[in-house]
Amino acid sequence: MLIDIHNLKKEFKTGEVVTKVLHGLSFVIGEGEFVAIMGPSGSGKSTLMHILGLLDRPSSGSYTLAGREVSTLSDNELAGFRNEKIGFVFQAFNLLPRTTVLENVKLPLTYAAAKVDMDKRAKEVLSSVGLSHRLHHYTNQISGGEKQRVAIARALVNRPSVIFADEPTGNLDSKSGIQIMEILQKLNDAGNTIILVTHETYTAEHAKRIIEVRDGLLTRDHKILKRRFAHEGEILK
Amino acid sequence: MFSQYIQVVKTAVIALLSNKGRSFLTMLGIIIGVGAVIVIMAVGAGAQSLILNQVKSLGTNLIGIIPGYSEEDGPPASVMGIVITTLTYDDALALKEKKNVPNIEDVVAYYKGIGTLNWSSNSYDTNLNGCSSGYIAVEGGELESGRFFTEEENRSLTKVVVLGSTVKEELFGESEAVGQRIKVKTHMFEVIGVMAGRGTVAMQDYDDQVFIPLKTMQKVMAGVNHVSMIRAKIDHEDNTARALEDIKITLRERHEINDKSGKSDDFTVRSAAQALDMITTVTNALKYFLAAMAALSLLVGGIGIMNIMLVAVTERTREIGLRKAVGAKTADILSQFLFEAVTVTSIGGLFGIVGGTLLSYLIALVAKFLGYDWAFAVSLSSVVLAVGVSMLVGLIFGLYPARKASRLEPVEALRYE
């Protein structure tokens, strides 16, 4: 199993007040899956994604990623794991300002231990998301949809084991949103494991499996019977 | 690994260029600090060489003897206001004898005071320089008119006086001075000569004084028997060490001092070379003190750097979060911000060096224009020091903001609005 969490709990302390966010979640995600984590805001789905993406630590419970127990790793080991195993796509794109598309995509490689031809690798993934013509544009010179495609290229560039997409279509118009979902589906078809976090059922139905979270508990985990396929002309709503 | 450094440099340059005005203002503190250090070191070195050259122009083959014991490099006892009466004119005459100190060419003994001169309705306060007839032979100087007094006039307590050029100007104006009678304190003296102007050399005004025979000064004016200083001119600078020893031996013998270690001496002998060393020490101390004062402004500049880096860390919180999300380690973020701080201070330091050098050159030009023998010298050491210190300031004051950046939690940083 790629991801295996057991009785995962998370609570935040603000002074004396303890807020419990995750009340003990357990599930497994295998390689090549396309899972949507769904839930309304405040359900704990973002916290869950942060923990799964190694941006945050669970308060208790176990988390095994690619065969390795990661809940006890040091900050630097976590950074290395994020670099090698995980790609992120954020709702707000989070691209570096005043920097070219190519430089943005190369960013994870500059922190990687292994040496690769960074330019070649970055150009490859940019071409796979259809942005070969935008290599030397600055990130403020391209459209929102293109920005998110740059972010996807950046997530892919170090060949991660899993890609986390946190509301990737949230800041996009419907047409760009469909393009992004199409790319994610194609990536999944090519064998990439994708975990999509969203509050929209419609978007979630582009995945193959939905894990529903409510009030910090897993309420439903099911396969999607009528899966949606993103294509030109479809309206995302 | 190498490409990572390029990335760090690129990021730093982008960050600095994206806020050009702010970067420049931040640098200003460092520019001024480094510039001030450079200027002060250069001007200090120029002034120092000026003083040293002047002292050298007086002759490096001079030896001074003052009453009282003093430490090797310490100040003479007379500076403390203690009057020591052990040194006499007979000592000076004994030194001049070839059998005692063969290297001495001539000696002059002094007893100095101050007093008011009167001529006609004019009156002028000046230094009374009681000296023996060897003055010009030892100290140099030229007569404008008339003559200097002789040893016979000295011995017979003659009331004659030679005027410095400033004194002549003040008392007589354009009138002829030689042959006139003037009142020195309460005694009438005959003016027998006027010295040519020599200016101020090594902080001593050669023109604002009158020369009176030593004996006349001692017996008639002051009523004392001792001298305040003896100056001896030796045949060559290379013989200084030997002459110094001979002088000490002669004086110990005359003063019946048996202790050969020098600890019991009631006199101090110093060569011009030693005086030069002392002047160098003093002026160096002054120079470095002033440079340290200027370096204080670097501290202020460093605080400015810290302030602006803290602002930058806050502004770039999301960027830091993203970098951490894609695998940047604590050390990566730390070195990124440290590098940016050091870049700001280093560039500031370079500007400061250029500005300071230009200003020093300008000062040297003005000094030369005013007729000083001024050397323009920006030493390599001060440049290296300035660059080193400005980089260090960047490191020290960049450390706190950089640490703050590197310790941000990735989740918190990504969420930051």
Q: What CA–CA distances, in Å, run from B15 to A33, B285, B309, B337?
A: 40, 42, 11, 10
**pTM (whole model) above 0.80:** no
d(CA B87, CA B228): 7
Per-residue pLDDT tens digits for A193-217: 999 999 999 999 999 999 999 999 9
Question: Does B261 lie in the same domain as B288?
Answer: no
Which comes out higher in pLDDT, residue B59 or B326? B326
* Residue B71 within any structural domain of the chain: no
Which residue in B14, B18, B326, B334 has the most chain A C-beta atoms within 10 A of its own C-beta, making it the best mutation to test that interface? B326
Q: Is residue B60 part of a domain?
A: no
User: What CATH number has the domain bearing residue A39?
Assistant: 3.40.50.300
Among A55, A108, A118, select the one facing B411 at the smallest CB separation. Answer: A55
Does B139 contact chain A (CB < 8 Å)? no
At A109, give phi and psi (nearest 5°): -65, -30
> With an 8 Å Cβ cutoff, are A90 and B18 in contact?
no
Mean pLDDT of chain A, nearest integer: 92
Asked if residue A160 belongs to a domain, the reply is yes
> Does residue B129 contact residue B109 with C-beta atoms inside 8 Å?
no
Same domain, B238 and B282: no
Smallest Cβ–Cβ distance between A111 and the set B14, B326, B414 belongs to B326
pLDDT at position B79: 63
Residues B153 and B251 reside in one and the same domain: yes
Comparing CA positions, the residue from B130, B238, B131, B123 lying closest to residue B183 is B123
* Least confident window among A82-96, A192-206, B148-162, B277-291: B277-291
Q: Is the pLDDT of residue B135 over 60?
A: yes
The pair of three-digit structure tokens given for residue B35, joined into one six-digit string = 């510039």
Domain boundaries, position B339: 2-55+278-415
Interchain CB contact of B411 with A (< 8 Å): yes
Cβ under 8 Å to A: B residues 307-346: 318-319, 321-332
The parent domain of residue A191 ranges over 31-58+83-223
Taking an 8 Å cut-off on Cβ atoms, the answer to whether A76 and B329 are in contact is: yes
Residues whose CB is less than 8 angstroms from the CB of residue B62 and which lie 6 or more positions away in sequence, other chains included: B138, B231, B232, B233, B234, B271, B272
Kindly state whether residue B70 falls inside one of the protein's structural domains. no
CB contact under 8 A, A111 and B321: no
Per-residue pLDDT, B290: 86
Query: Which of B265, B294, B315 is a domain's end point?
Result: B265
Chain A residues inside the 8 Å CB shell of B331:
76
Do B96 and B245 fall into the same domain?
yes
Give the torsion sign (CA, A221, A226, A231, A232). negative
**Residue B3: closest C-alpha in chain A:** A110
Q: Which one is predicted more confidently, A221 or A71?
A: A221
Please state which of the ranges A2-16, B144-158, B283-297, B337-351 shows the lowest mean pLDDT.
B283-297
Q: Taking CB atoms and an 8 Å limit, are B325 and A53 in contact across chains?
A: yes
Q: What is the pLDDT of residues A154-184, one digit of tens each?
A: 999 999 999 999 999 999 998 999 999 999 9
Identify which of A134, A164, A166 has the alpha carbon closest to the alpha carbon of residue A150.
A134
Beta bridge partners of A165: A89, A196
Q: What is the structure's pLDDT at A235? A: 59
Q: Inter-chain contact B4–A111, Cβ cutoff 8 Å? A: yes
Q: How confident is the model at residue B3 (pLDDT cuts 50, 70, 90)?
A: low
| B289/B261 same-domain check | no
Contact assignment for B3 to A76 by CB distance below 8 Å: no
Q: Which residues of A touch B327 (CB under 8 A)?
A: 79-80, 82-84, 108, 111-112, 158
Find, among B230, B239, B241, the residue nearest to B267 by Cα.
Answer: B230
Candidates A82, A96, A110: best to mutate against B (most CBs of B within 10 A) is A110
- ipTM of the modeled complex: 0.93
Lowest mean pLDDT among A228-232, B331-335, B367-371: A228-232
For residue A170, tell me if it sits in a domain. Answer: yes
Pair A12, A6: CB distance under 8 Å: no
B287-304: pLDDT as tens digits = 889 888 888 888 888 999
Same domain, B309 and B396: yes
